[in-house]
Structure 1
Amino acid sequence: MSDQEQGGGETYAGSGVDIAAGELAVERIKEKVRSTFRPEVIGDIGGFGGLFEFPSHRYRHPVLVSSTDGVGTKALVAQKVGRFDTIGVDLVAMCVDDLACQGAEPLFFLDYIAVGTLDPDHIEQLVEGVAEGCRTAGCALIGGEMAEHPGSMEPGEFDLVGFATGVVERDQIITGEHVGTGDRIIGLPSPNLRSNGYSLARRVLLDVAGRSLDDPAWDGARHSLGEELLQPSVIYSPAIAELVRHVDVRGVAHITGGGIPGNLNRSLGRHHDAIIDRRTWEVPPIFGEIQRLGRVADDEMARVFNMGIGMAVIVPAEDAHKTLDVLRTAGHRAVEIGEVEKGHGTVRYV
């Protein structure tokens, strides 16, 4: 029986928005959200705004740092595979690792989820990934929004956006202005694409090469292409936070869209160049697969993808070994990938 036959006229549900499904989704994610709370979180889920008591006793001259990002067309891969429990980690990584580039500790996080049709199972998986990322980064998920957009998005389609706020002492902000000739560049490995370059990766692998997401990721791989492309991003911010406690970190670059050349240059200043030795780290196989199948030029690969380095830090030469020790102790197989020379703010490969 239609809404009109019941005498109720038009309804929100009839237009494609299910309020009851939204309420059910909120109930199912509450414990996941609470699992991220820090002592500074005030109140609980359900308010009009998230409350966070600033930890002023720990800072002399605190500066707030904010960042926002999304997961790009990696969301389309998750949609095709039907797996949504990892991409929330990517969302957190994209935001908090940007904060880490200025030496900031992530405090709290908010997410925005837009869907064509609100499915509580779908939302629960997405938020579980966000919560996992927040727990890894040490920040609290204190708020968010779920929006159902019938007509503008198809059922199963979604977009995911995040917002992170962190704090750093004013005299400890990492700006790159103290980078000097002879400084060493240390790379933190990335085993996958993270959340960048997926438009090119999907075009090459799925459209040009005609691969299926169920196919092996490459010849001899024991996992599928879909699993490879949905591997979550490494979250580097806890390791960077530990490093700045021990070493004079002069520059940090999060290697996202633009690759090493388009991100490391942002940490150099105008009077220095970064000289990167490509031979110092192993490039994960997925990048070689994309390049081979798409006949992508070396320069284009370097400009689009991280090519196996997800974060780079610049430290004095005398601190290079200590930096490697700290980062390796934090769980990253860090390697020295280059050094700083006088120049004009560019990145060059040897």
Structure 2
Amino acid sequence: MDYRTAGVDVAAGRAFVEQIRPLVQRTQRPEVVGRLGGFAGLCRLPSNYRQPLLVSGTDGVGTKLKLAQTLGRHDTVGIDLVAMCVNDVLTCGAEPLFFLDYIACGHLSANILTAVVVGIASACEAAGCALLGGETAEMPGFYGEGVYDLAGFCVGVVEADQVLDGSQVQLGDVVLGLASSGLHSNGFSLVRKIVADRQLSWQETPVGDRPLGELCLEPTRLYVQPIRAALKEQIPLHGMAHITGGGLPENLPRCLGHGQSVVVNLNSWPIPPLFQWLGKVGEVSQQELLNTFNMGIGYTVIIPPAAVKDAQNCFERFGIASYEIGTVINGDGTLTFCP
């Protein structure tokens, strides 16, 4: 017996690393030191920071992976993986610096995993962060045939005196909601249950002319470029929140200051048809929808009323619609909806 007959092909793992090497190299920043294949990745701090603070974040893709593997489409979940991490790091005003991935599978399929890494690398390029390294673990007997899992880790950098920590948020500030690209990477256990219990097909087209599976696999939007542009233009962003699991009620209050709450107008942005369809066919209450999905708002910024127009113009240049969805008020750190 040998390792290969036990289900782990070391030679295939080495070949996979060589296959993805050009993808990784395209993401490199000037601060990266060394090469792919070492035991650890090395990266200098950017030289233009006076008092740099490192910011870190980690996440996965969740059960959206189950849908991707069911449909045999693996080119978008890598984008989700990066977006879930860099969008989090971005909320304190940080610039994403580098990213690492962890891929675990039952059997290493170079074609499938290369498609995943293509998505990871393209998202890293778009976010301006280096794909500094990663790990691929072949675990037969633990993961079934054709099954893989993803986790990601991002490190960013921010000036110590420019960290957004809630203290900048003022009463009367406006909450500007940036449109999501779809479901992003949250709520898929509920989506899959609705489809299974109602005996629906991922190939049907309940909303528009795109198959349901394709709509659901639309990758998470990356907000790095528009937010970094707004910061560079010195648009006063007082707070930011990435709208992930728990929706607006759980995530938006996390960027508020002490003694503050926020009121959100449910009629202030168009809720995409996919969310409306899920609520109707799954008989899901509006409150449950709001507590599970982003409902069309993937990211929020809190800004003074006078800066709203400049911010919206900035985001529009990146093709992202934004809406005045709420206001900061006195309170106990909660979110309320009106009407």
Q: TM-score range by the shorter chain?
A: over 0.9
> Tell me, what secondary structure is at the counterpart of 2:104?
strand
Deviates more, 1:115-124 or 1:314-323: 314-323
Equivalent of 1:214 in 203, 217, 222: 203
The TM-score normalised by the length of structure 1 is 0.94
> Where does residue 313 of structure 1 map in the other structure?
301
Equivalent of 1:160 in 145, 150, 170: 150
CA RMSD of aligned residues (A): 1.0
Equivalent of 2:214 in 227, 232, 235: 227
CA contact 1:191–1:284 (8 Å) conserved in 2: no
Q: CA deviation at 1:178?
A: 2.1
Q: Are 2:256 and 1:290 aligned? A: no
Q: CA deviation at 1:238?
A: 1.8
1:14 maps to a residue whose letter is T
Q: Are 2:36 and 1:45 aligned? A: yes
Q: CA deviation at 1:278?
A: 1.4
How far apart, CA to CA, are the structure 1 residues paired with 2:93 and 2:118? 27
Q: Are 2:6 and 1:19 aligned? A: no
Deviates more, 1:152-161 or 1:327-336: 327-336
1:214 maps to a residue whose letter is Q
> Tell me, what secondary structure is at the counterpart of 1:15?
coil
- Summarize deviations over 1:218-255 as a string: whole Å, max 9, x none: 15x21111111111111002211111222121110000
Q: Are 2:227 and 1:240 aligned? A: yes
2:39 maps to a residue whose letter is F
- Summarize deviations over 1:8-29 as a string: whole Å, max 9, x none: xx11011111112212211111
Q: CA deviation at 1:43?
A: 2.1
CA contact 2:103–2:136 (8 Å) conserved in 1: yes
Q: CA deviation at 1:110?
A: 0.1
Q: Are 2:123 and 1:136 aligned? A: no
CA contact 1:45–1:142 (8 Å) conserved in 2: yes
> Tell me, what secondary structure is at the counterpart of 1:279?
coil
CA contact 1:254–1:310 (8 Å) conserved in 2: yes
Deviates more, 1:272-281 or 1:141-150: 272-281
1:112 maps to a residue whose letter is Y
Equivalent of 1:73 in 63, 66, 85: 63
How far apart, CA to CA, are the structure 1 residues paired with 2:166 and 2:146? 43
How far apart, CA to CA, are the structure 2 residues paired with 1:46 and 1:272? 48
How far apart, CA to CA, are the structure 1 residues paired with 2:89 and 2:11? 37
Larger of the two Rg values belongs to structure: 1
Instruction: Mark the runs of 5 or more structure 2 residues left unpaired by the alignment.
Output: none
Q: Are 2:182 and 1:182 aligned? A: no
> Where does residue 123 of structure 1 map in the other structure?
113
How far apart, CA to CA, are the structure 2 residues paired with 1:213 and 1:251? 38
Aligned pairs, number = 337
> Where does residue 103 of structure 1 map in the other structure?
93
Instruction: Mark the runs of 5 or more structure 1 residues left unpaired by the alignment.
Output: 1-9
Q: CA deviation at 1:330?
A: 2.8
> Where does residue 334 of structure 1 map in the other structure?
322
The TM-score normalised by the length of structure 2 is 0.97
- Summarize deviations over 1:287-331 as a string: whole Å, max 9, x none: 111111111011110001000000000011111111111121232
Q: CA deviation at 1:191?
A: 2.7
